Amino acid sequence: MLVAESRPRYGGTVKVLLHDRVASIDPLGEEDRPAARDRIAALVFETLTSIDAQGHVRPGLASSWRSDPSRKSWQFRLRLANFHDGSVVTAADVAASLARSNPAWKYSAPDRQTVTIDAPSPVQHMPEMLAVTRYSIIKRQGDGNSAVLTGTGPYKLTQWQPGERAQLAVNEDYWAGRAFPDAIEVQMGASLREQLLDRQLGPYSAAEVSVDQLRALEQSNQNLAVSRLADLLALVFLQPGPPTRADFARVGVEGDSPSRTGRKPVDARVREALGLALNRSAITSVLLQRRSAPASGLLPQWLTGYEFLFPGNLDIAHARELRSDAAAYVVITPIMLAYDATDPLSKLVAERIALDAREAGIVVQPYAESHINSRSARASMNADAVLLRIPLQSLDPSVALAALSDDLGVSPESVPAVLAATRPEDLLDAERKLLADHRMIPVAHLPQAIWLHGNVHNWQEQMTGAWQLDQLWVEGAR
């Protein structure tokens, strides 16, 4: 008779299936799959602080911190730790790394173990902000794609095949103690659905799960870890960019302004009408199989407590009025909507959006794009809008909202006000301003989920969907 092990043991290799293909683990690089990138990066690199499963800020590479009364100047005391190459982490290393993450702040190293950060405006939640992956402490040698990145995390990157495979070996000298598994192996670009069909899940410890797969897996009593409804599915209208000579040649009406690719920006009334025409309940209950929630705000209700104050109801009559009003002044052309070519659910939602828009007299033409998540990719698209799935980067609402705004390049001037917010009312006002021009239309909040083999223990899926693997161990490891 076999008896399951109950005590953690060292050894073994954890094999993980990622749906997305990651080109680089550099947290500051342009990456089409930032959520998948950050999962791997968090095993290799560390931040000064961390956020636990309950949303509380905890020490990371910094053992303590303090600020002045203005909350503009912060001081972090470093713990004793080594980079993977054996060199000691110093305040100068940390300052150099953070300067790349946010050049708007000033950094100094009064001594080898103390880093001072001076911001031009108050940052009420600096420790929470520094827990975001983009603020990972990295020692860089060289520049660009050829740069060598060295971290301090529980695992060292030993093999990297961009978009295909990552092999990580345990860091025996990790400051917080050696992790249990000897290695973690990540296979990219393979879905759980394909592996189930091929009956090839045996060797794997964990695999990403799409929302539409959850019901079937739960009915077959599979072991699943599911986050809160953290990800935001949203329509984001692309901002006009510098015109080209060809753009000017297309301008034939006085007052017209050429856009980024010769396409004019979608009229604000049409954008608002599209938001009112969306049947979010149908999208979440049917297409997303009741494993999501309609979104009226950028941040979920469970995080802020105020999302219900944003209107998100279906109102076809008002949508038609707005569309008619816009048509009296501008020529309304079809909205080109790009969605992620690798995500079948995005295709279904984009098609449903087109169907809903038709009820308001708006033509939406969905089409697939292979690269939609990076700024550079969106800047070169011949699209009016994109359907994006945006991960929640922090359990602190102000940090989460600032990170979302910064990543999308929407209203960068709003970020200081968001970070300076001291009351929920201030944050509500900041989010309302971000939504006011209808360039971002929330659609749904979704969870992240992962299938786990029965021999995997203490795999923790945080509320944001991030992985916390510090206590992970594998039964039967040798």
- What is the distance between the alpha carbons of residues 26 and 151, in angstroms, rounded to a whole number? 11
Query: Which DSSP state fits 50?
Result: E
pLDDT score recorded for residue 394:
93
pLDDT at 2 over 60: no
Residue 374 lies in a domain: yes
Residue 70, both tokens? 């203005």
Same domain, 17 and 95: no
237 beta partners: 385
pLDDT at 129 over 70: yes
pLDDT confidence of 255, banded at 50, 70, 90?
very low
* CATH code for the domain in which residue 134 is found: 3.90.76.10
Residue 114 lies in a domain: yes
Classify strands 456-457 and 223-226 as parallel, antiparallel or unpaired.
unpaired
Q: Which helix (H) or strand (E) holds 341?
A: none
Same domain, 86 and 218: no
pLDDT score recorded for residue 192:
59
Domain around 33: 7-45+153-227+449-478
Cα R_g (the chain), whole angstroms: 23
pLDDT tens digits, one per residue of 171-214:
999 999 999 999 999 999 876 565 554 445 668 899 998 898 88
Residue 1 lies in a domain: no
Q: In sequence order, what E strands does 199-306 have? A: 206-209, 223-226, 231-237, 293-294
Reduced 3-state DSSP string for 51-63: ECCCCCEEECCEE
Domain's final residue, options 135, 151, 167: 151
Q: How many CB atoms lie within 10 A of CB 430?
A: 22
Same domain, 465 and 365: no
Same domain, 59 and 189: no
Residue 341 lies in a domain: yes
- What is the distance between the alpha carbons of residues 94 and 386, in angstroms, rounded to a whole number? 36
Question: Count of domains in the chain?
Answer: 3
Q: CB under 8 Å to 207, separation ≥6 — which residues?
A: 16, 17, 192, 195, 201, 450, 451
pLDDT tens digits, one per residue of 82-118:
999 999 999 999 999 999 999 999 999 999 999 999 9
Residue 2 lies in a domain: no
Classify strands 183-188 and 13-18 as parallel, antiparallel or unpaired.
parallel
pLDDT tens digits, one per residue of 29-72:
888 888 899 999 999 999 999 988 788 899 999 999 999 999 99
pLDDT score recorded for residue 246:
37
- What is the distance between the alpha carbons of residues 241 and 225, in angstroms, rounded to a whole number? 42
Q: In sequence order, what E strands does 142-267 have? A: 148-150, 155-161, 165-170, 183-188, 206-209, 223-226, 231-237
pTM over 0.85: yes
* Angle (nearest 5°) at CA 220 between 216 and 224: 75
* CATH code for the domain in which residue 299 is found: 3.10.105.10
Domain's final residue, options 104, 133, 151: 151
Tell me which residue has tokens 């449903």.
352
pLDDT at 378 over 60: yes
pLDDT score recorded for residue 182:
96
3-state secondary structure (DSSP) of residue 188: strand
pLDDT score recorded for residue 220:
86
pLDDT score recorded for residue 262:
55
Residue 263: C-alpha distances to residues 93, 224, 353, 406, 409 (Å):
45, 44, 21, 24, 19
